[in-house]
Amino acid sequence: MKRILAALVLAIAVCMPWTASADEGMWMLHQVPELQAKLAAMGLQLKADEIWNTKTNSGLASAVAWLGGCSSSFVSPDGLVITNHHCAFGAIQLNSTPEHDYITNGFLAKIPAEELEARGSRVNVFMGYDDVTAAVQGAVKAGMKPEERQKAVESARKQLVAECEKAGVRCSVAEMYGGAKFYLFRMLEIRDVRLVYAPPRAIGEYGGEVDNWMWPRHTGDYSFLRAYVGPDGKPADYSPSNVPYRPARYLKIATDQLREGDFTMIMGYPGRTMRYRLASAIAEDTDFTYPQQIKQLHDVIAILENENKRGKDVEIKLASQLKGLYNTVKKSEGMLEGLTRSDLVARKRAQEQQLAAWIAADPKRTQMYGDVLPAMEKLVVERRATRERDMVLGWLTGGRGGNLLSAAAMIERWTSEKVKPDLEREMGFQQRDERMLRQRMVNMQRNLDLPSERAVLRYSLRRASGLPAGRGIAAIDQLLTATGKSGDAAIDAALDALYSGSKLADLQVRQRLFDADHAAVLASGDPFIAFAAALRQDTDARQAADKRYEGEMLALSPKFFAALGVWRNAPLYADANSTLRFTFATVRGYQPRDAVIYTPFTTLHGVVEKHTGVDPFKCPQRLLDAARLGNLGRYVDPRLNDVPACFLSSNDITGGNSGSPIMNGKGELVGLAFDGDYESMTSDYLFSDALSRTINVDIRYVLWCMDYVDKADILLREIGFEPQHK
């Protein structure tokens, strides 16, 4: 039965282009009313406007907060936030020392005064959004060149943001459908965030890299934070006199049993999908981008694992970075495997041919849309010319050049931009960004480990020096030539000069330069500043090309999506872009391969079954004891006769959704989304009804761990549960 179903779905996916599968779609909140009938039939007991009322700007969605890279939700009137352990990991790591190893042992604030400052963390509370397409597109005039078009749109966006932002409120204009639509989002940015409770890593990260992306899963991937505001109720810097934020809405924890087939909805902030990417661009990803990226990631992991051997303090400093690298490389490998095995390029190409044929079949359509696909195709091919250099450059300037290079680049750019009128500055370097940039300078201090930075930068310089002559990075060619040496000797000499001459490892030096003027910064003689300034010649050229590309796409996308919408004759959702989205589905297992069925719930029994006593399968003794004694309390599911640990649902999510609340038909919290399954990694490109699943930690396992393992009594009471342990 299931096999036949799978075959059927595949057939549909192949034949019907860009058709949303049953549970596919990362919908914007104003689209929910269009889905109301289907949602009600599936089990949603709320009305669309209870999820979000666009007139009053209120509803359940305001309980769903963005942590920047992760999602979360309020679960008490006193600003208590629940998210994934891996989303709170930075805050846990920040407060850990070899003496107080909260990563290993977990952390529990018995009273609010014990809560720990999660420096640098942000809780962004959703306040609403407006369609500003007309205002943005109105800035574009006929006859503009692509780069002019891009600049006009960017200016309009900055203008809208500037008008919108006021004390504590952050605004952003999000581009949807490749620029066919624009929305202005408002978020309350709370910047006093504290760590309340994290289970031991052996629960919160149980299964580690072995189980990452895998089902069956037994990870208790949850943690609690709390949002604080000033006594006036407005966002404020950390202060002992701050008070818990009182959210407009918080989620009730479900007490009904969640079962296979039940309706589930997720709200959260998915980061990025490529559902409408052209086949030729996917081919580029498959043939070049992923293979190259995977090699680089493995190389850097090996370098850092080697650095790790220097001691426990280095290990703590590198933990978060390594965790991220492992996660990325596993995702990239799964993606590449999936893209190759599913022959996605050929399938996408077939779809495009069908769309092209449909357009060509009608003279009017041909006139309206006929040039779109060929023009988009041409842009993809053009970008291919510089791909080797772009990859190394992106890698270097995207953080893999180390913190000192990042700091140098940021200071050089900031001091050069800050003298301009605010609306003319580069995005990311406006007044509104100053606080974040300063915070970033502070944050980088906590994990600064120069030997490992140098090792990674050395790797990047070696790669850059291997680029074909004439297609390399000018700044690096200069850097190496200046040493008067060649090969590895030149690289090592350049690194010696950079690290012995730079003072940027000193926070005060960074802060002083940040406040200096650009000429003084350049005159500081810091070799990293000089290197960063030289690199900017390379990145500026790259950025100009990007802007030209964006300008071209701004003209093409509206036509492309218009054609697609008419062809499909159904609502279209936009690719993920870190804005709030709604996805609905059911609790549902899947068939990963011939003769294997994954059922949708794992259990506490399974947690213990995986325990080997060796990391990452080393349960805390108190968990084993409680399980052995059968202390399961009210958290037992009578059908499973056990505490459910994790569950699968067919919700459509991606990275950024981590920590998202998953809710039942009443809008009550039944768990937290924390992963996707390995078999559907390519769902960023193409959602599969048969294989795409969200992996959630079941709230009953969270509660059981809080109660019987960690005895978080006060916290349990705050979210409405009386502890049951003795």
Contacting a second copy (CB under 8 A), which of 150, 524, 602, 657? Answer: 602
Pick the binder of a second copy from 269, 601, 635, 704 (CB under 8 A): 601
Task: State which residue, 214 or 301, has the beta carbon closest to a second copy.
Answer: 214
Which one, 109 or 645, has the nearer CB to a second copy? Answer: 645
Taking contact as CB under 8 A, which single stretch among the options 435-443, 484-492, 560-568, 589-597 is the one that binds a second copy? 589-597
Q: Of the two residues 429 and 601, which places its CB atom closer to a second copy in the complex?
A: 601
What is the SS3 assignment for 123?
Answer: strand
Q: Taking CB under 8 A as the criterion, which residues in 216-235 touch a second copy? A: 216, 218
Length of the chain: 726
Of 399, 415, 398, the closest CA to residue 529 belongs to 415
Give the one residue of 478, 599, 631, 724 binding a second copy; rule: CB under 8 A. 599
x/- contact string, 634-673, with a second copy (CB under 8 A)?
Answer: ------xxx-------------------------------
Who's near 215: CB < 8 A, 6+ residues apart?
592, 598, 648, 677, 678, 693, 695
Minimum CB–partner distance for residue 597 and a second copy (Å): 4
What backbone torsions phi and psi does residue 611 show, to the nearest 5 degrees?
Answer: -60, 120
Among 286, 452, 577, 603, binds a second copy (CB under 8 A): 603
Report in angstroms how near the CB of residue 451 gets to a second copy at its nearest. 37
Tell the residue number behind the tokens 């919108």, with chain if given.
164
d(CA 661, CA 51): 13
Q: Choose, by CB under 8 A, the member of 594, 614, 638, 722 that binds a second copy.
A: 594
Give the contact letters, 96-135, x = binds to a second copy (CB under 8 A), - = no. Answer: ----------------------------------------
Q: Between residues 124 and 342, which has the closer beta carbon with respect to a second copy?
A: 342
Determine if 722 is a binding residue for a second copy (CB under 8 A): no
Between 27 and 215, CB nearer to a second copy: 215
For residue 603, the minimal CB distance to a second copy (Å) is 6
Whichever of 141 and 593 has its CB closer to a second copy, that residue is 593
Determine if 595 is a binding residue for a second copy (CB under 8 A).
yes
Report CA-CA distances (Å) from 565 to 20, 45, 573: 12, 29, 10
Cβ atoms 689, 703 nearer than 8 A: no
What does DSSP assign to residue 576? P
Q: 65 - beta bridge partners? A: 72, 125
Q: Examine residue 638 and say whether the peptide bond preceding it is cis (omega within 30 degrees of 0).
A: no
Give dist(CA 31, CA 604) in Å, integer. Answer: 38
Which x/- pattern over 409-428 shows residues binding a second copy (rule: CB under 8 A)? --------------------
3 or 462: whose CB is closer to a second copy?
3
What's the rounded Cα separation, in Å, for the pair 213 and 449?
29
Q: Which of 213, 228, 598, 617 binds a second copy (CB under 8 A)?
A: 598
Q: Is 290 in the site for a second copy (CB under 8 A)?
A: no
What is the C-alpha separation between 564 and 17, in angstroms, rounded? 9
Among 92, 203, 105, CA closest to 616: 203
Q: Which residues are catalytic?
A: 86, 221, 658
Query: Residues with Cβ < 8 Å from 715, sequence gap 6 or more?
Result: 80, 108, 196, 197, 224, 706
Among 33, 112, 565, 606, binds a second copy (CB under 8 A): 606
- The region of 157-165, 215-223, 563-571, 684-692 touching a second copy under the rule CB under 8 A is 215-223
Omega of the bond leading into 17 within 30 degrees of 0 (cis): no
Handedness of CA 398, 403, 405, 410 (dihedral sign): positive
For the CB of residue 644, give the shortest distance to a second copy in the complex, in Å: 10
Identify which of residues 70 and 640 has a Cβ nearer to a second copy in the complex.
640
**Which region among 10-18, 213-221, 298-306, 683-691 touches a second copy (by CB under 8 A)?**
213-221
Q: How far is the CB of 645 from a second copy (least distance, A)?
A: 8
When binding is defined by CB under 8 A, the residue of 600, 655, 665, 671 that contacts a second copy is: 600
Tokens standing for residue 495:
């690194």
Q: Of the ranges 45-53, 462-470, 507-515, 599-607, which one interacts with a second copy (CB under 8 A)?
A: 599-607
Query: Are 157 and 136 contacting, i.e. CB atoms less than 8 angstroms apart?
Result: yes
Position 597 contacts a second copy (CB under 8 A): yes
Euclidean distance between CA atoms 568 and 552, whole angstroms: 24
When the beta carbons of 74 and 598 are compared against a second copy, the nearer one is 598
Binding string, residues 4-43; x marks residues near a second copy by CB under 8 A: x---------------------------------------
Q: Count Cα atoms within 13 angstroms, Cβ side, for 179.
A: 22
Choose between 264 and 602: whose C-beta lies nearer to a second copy.
602
Euclidean distance between CA atoms 630 and 473, whole angstroms: 63
The distance of closest approach from Cβ of residue 118 to a second copy in the complex, given in angstroms and rounded to an integer, is 34
Cβ closer to a second copy: 453 or 698? Answer: 698
3-class DSSP state of 611: coil
Contact 192, 242 (CB under 8 A): yes
Tell me, rounded to whole angstroms, the distance of Cα 511 from its chain centroid.
29
Q: CB of residue 587 vs a second copy: minimum separation in angstroms?
A: 12
Query: Using CA atoms in the order 200, 201, 206, 210, what is the torsion angle rounded to 10 degrees?
Result: -170
- Tell me if residue 661 falls in helix, strand or coil: strand
Nearest to a second copy of 120, 216 (CB atom): 216
Rounded CA gap, 521 and 513, in Å?
6
Lookup: tokens for 157: 């966006």
Only one of the segments 225-233, 266-274, 308-316, 598-606 lies at the binding site for a second copy (rule: CB under 8 A); that segment is 598-606
Task: Rule CB under 8 A: choose which of 113, 469, 596, 614 binds a second copy.
Answer: 596
Q: Which helix (H) or strand (E) holds 422?
A: none
Q: How far is the CB of 617 from a second copy (least distance, A)?
A: 12
Contact of 409 with 475, CB cutoff 8 Å: no
Stretch that binds a second copy, among 143-151, 274-282, 457-465, 601-609 (CB under 8 A): 601-609
Cβ-Cβ contacts under 8 Å for 93 (sequence gap 6 or more): 103, 316, 319, 320, 447
> Does 213 interact with a second copy (rule: CB under 8 A)?
no
Pick the piece of the chain touching a second copy (CB under 8 A) from 211-219, 463-471, 522-530, 685-693: 211-219
Cα(319)–Cα(89) distance, rounded to whole angstroms?
Answer: 9
Residues that bind a second copy (CB under 8 A): 3-4, 215-216, 218, 589, 593-603, 605-606, 609-610, 640-642
